[in-house]
Structure 1
């Protein structure tokens, strides 16, 4: 059975791009914001890895990370932060603040590097990467 990757980004082109990159290897689910992602998770769905943007409407990435890291059900799901906002925030501060964040990448990103990091996260080989 393919591993599930939940992609959360308000940009439809980014969601489609990530689905195209990851969909050949994993089952990909997408959400346009944290609210939609939490609704999907609360219905008993599970993800093996979550990739989220930080700047989104409704529930943004920061609020989503707070909820995931504080939840008994979701705190062990490894998370990749993929955002243009990383320029304004020290990546190590994000990782230090949220235990489940394993990777912080900035947009634009290298698809090959992204695939490698997701694979490492799913195999438990990657503890923290910036």
Structure 2
């Protein structure tokens, strides 16, 4: 999928699990430019450099600065408020956790996830 300037859309992927990063790279890198960050701290640093992804895929549970804290910070900032977010998690009560969040999550998926469904969600959110 291409952005308005003809380049690939940029997806910021934030996850600390190497196997998930490999899977996401395998299924998405041919269609999108992926920026891989292994923690919320790395993601915030990249965003503070002035980068503007078209979509963010984040793990919920990461050490130090988890996905919930990352997304909350982005949603309260004016600049990234409208950036679509897909939250991934191995938590069994993910739907309940998302419903308790004080900010909007566009999509959420439990790990392990179906790659075809993830790609469908991405296409819908970037349309």
TM-score by length of 1: 0.87
Gaps of 5+ in 1: 124-130
Give the CA RMSD over aligned residues.
Answer: 1.3
Mapped pair 1:88 → 2:106: no
Mapped pair 1:24 → 2:27: no
**1: CA distance, partners of 2:20 / 2:123:** 19
* 1:92–1:14 distance in 2 versus 1, CA, 3 Å: closer
**2: CA distance, partners of 1:79 / 1:93:** 15
The one-character-per-residue Cα deviations of 1:87-116 (angstroms, maximum 9, x if unpaired) are 22416505x6322x2101000000111101
TM-score by length of 2: 0.89
**1: CA distance, partners of 2:112 / 2:80:** 27
SS of the residue aligned with 1:108? coil
The equivalent of 1:76 in structure 2 is 82
Q: Which 4+ residue blocks in structure 1 deviate beyond 4 angstroms?
A: none
Mapped pair 1:2 → 2:39: no
